[in-house]
Structure 1
Amino acid sequence: MESGAIPDDSITASSFCCGNHEPYRGRLNGVAGEGAWVVRTNTIGEWLQVDLGEMKTVTGTIIQGRYHNYYQWVTSYKLQYSVDGHSWITYASSDGFEEVFPGNTDRNTPVTNLLDSPTDARYVRFLPQTWHNWMSMRVEVLGGVKGRFLLKVVGT
């Protein structure tokens, strides 16, 4: 995503605040506009979605908070994935419970979470669960070519 290989219109969301807070502003290390995807209202159930363009093996994620002078970030999130963009599966840990990933403790430090069980998907959703001041985030999806275990940024 950070590389720009994922087109802007392949990054969508349940909502966004207003101009300069669009979903495509949620790219890792993005500084354009207001420096992140920002939700309209802080409500559980909001999501940021990435269409990887084809099936990929997803191995992890990286998230950041909102750039600039805003003290806003996601402190925990769930991850969903899909092969068709309609049927979604929430990522679960090896014990079968939905995984809640640790998020940020500040606005700029990237937080990497690797999946215990890499999964094949075309679509990935980030679902913030808790946040500091406002639900705002910049993200990256880690993975590689479907069927191979590679740790690299999807789309490069």
Structure 2
Amino acid sequence: MQQEFLIRGTESNEPIDTSTMTCGLLVLSLTIAAVQSIDTSQCIAPLGMESGAIADDDITASSSFDSGNVGPQHGRVRQERNGGAWCPKNQITTEPKDWLEIDLHSVHVITATETQGRFGNGQGQEFAEAYILEYWRPRLGKWVRYRDLKGNEVSEQIKFI
């Protein structure tokens, strides 16, 4: 027994051929599946914080103790210029208030992060004990805290090597 379905349009009340709708839905489903599957095993290239490929102007911060010596542009790994780190203006507390922002200019898949303490001519003892990752969602118009696959907020605890 074959069934025929007619769906009426909202404006003209003309019948709509459902065979083309099924095909359209199938294509949409395949497109969504393709976008969601990303092979991160090939994501091994650094973004440019160490090499300088990310320009100093693309690194901003909530504040700096001394923008010339420990401004956001100095928040790069394995760099010993000036103070050798970014240092916020006020002493750090357990409340996340200060931030370092890196503008990547396009969508990227981040597979790892790296931090280090301040070099300070070999005398630096300052370092972050933990940090939180957030990313900008243009359609939502806000920053979103990174979550794991189970939906839990992730706060990275620094591992000492």
CA distance in 1, matches of 2:108, 2:137: 10
Q: Residue 51 of structure 2 aligns to which amino acid in structure 1?
A: S
Partner of 1:50: 102
Partner of 1:66: 118
Deviation of residue 104 (structure 1)? 5.2
| More helix, by proportion | 2
- Structure 2 gaps of 5+ residues are 1-48
TM-score normalized with structure 1 length: 0.62
Q: Which runs of 4+ in 1 moved over 2 A?
A: none
Partner of 1:134: none
Provide, for residues 64-115 of structure 1, a one-character-per-residue CA deviation record: whole Å limited to 9, x for no partner: 111131200001111001144x51110012232210112254xxx6xxxxxx
Higher relative contact order (CA 8 A, sep 6+): 1
Asked if structure 2 preserves the Cα contact closer than 8 Å seen for 1:81 and 1:90, the reply is yes
Deviation of residue 11 (structure 1)? 0.4
Q: Is 1:80 equivalent to 2:134 in the alignment?
A: yes
Counterpart of 2:73 in 1: which secondary structure? Answer: helix
Partner of 1:25: 74
Partner of 2:151: 96
CA distance in 1, matches of 2:124, 2:60: 22
Instruction: Tell which structure's C-alpha radius of gyration is larger.
Output: 2
TM-score normalized with structure 2 length: 0.60
| More strand, by proportion | 1
- Structure 1 gaps of 5+ residues are 110-156
More displaced, 21-30 or 86-95? 86-95
Deviation of residue 31 (structure 1)? 0.7
Counterpart of 1:94 in 2: which secondary structure? Answer: coil
CA distance in 1, matches of 2:127, 2:59: 19
Cα RMSD (Å): 1.6
